[in-house]
């Protein structure tokens, strides 16, 4: 599982040999390259709606002048329990 997330091939024995000239504390992203895209977002207390994925998507769509496609949850995906 972690191999795929880190982009490491299946052909290894658990030890990755790095350049011996690297200094201790070097950021692994500087060695292996970026592994994912990240957006750092600061949320102010008056924007509680932006604490959800959908709220962030809506704000980013507005800022980037893009259309937001609503993905509705399918009720069949959830099991609803009756109260006793």
Contact 35, 29 (CB under 8 A): yes
Whether the pLDDT of residue 1 is over 60: the answer is: no
Which among 12-16, 27-31, 36-40 has the top mean pLDDT?
Answer: 27-31
> Residue 83's pLDDT band (boundaries 50, 70, 90)?
confident
Domain range spanning residue 44?
Answer: 2-77
Q: Is residue 46 part of a domain?
A: yes
Domain tally, the chain: 1
Q: Is residue 28 part of a domain?
A: yes
> Residue 28's pLDDT band (boundaries 50, 70, 90)?
confident
Specify the 3-state DSSP secondary structure of 68.
coil
Q: Is residue 9 part of a domain?
A: yes
> Residue 42's pLDDT band (boundaries 50, 70, 90)?
confident
Please name the residue that has the structure tokens 């924007």.
47
Q: Is residue 50 part of a domain?
A: yes
Q: Is residue 84 part of a domain?
A: no
CA distance linking residue 72 with residue 52, whole number of Å: 15
Q: How many CA atoms lie within 13 A of 21 on its CB side?
A: 0
Q: Is residue 83 part of a domain?
A: no
CA distance linking residue 61 with residue 28, whole number of Å: 31
């Amino acid at each position: 599982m972690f191999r795929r997330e880190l982009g490491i091939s299946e052909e290894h024995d658990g030890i990755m040999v790095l350049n011996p000239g690297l200094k201790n504390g070097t950021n692994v992203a500087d060695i292996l390259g970026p592994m994912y895209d990240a957006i750092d977002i600061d949320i102010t207390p008056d924007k509680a709606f932006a604490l959800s994925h959908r709220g962030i998507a809506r704000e980013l769509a507005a800022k980037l002048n893009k259309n937001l496609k609503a993905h509705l949850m399918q009720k069949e995906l959830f099991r609803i329990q009756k109260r006793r």
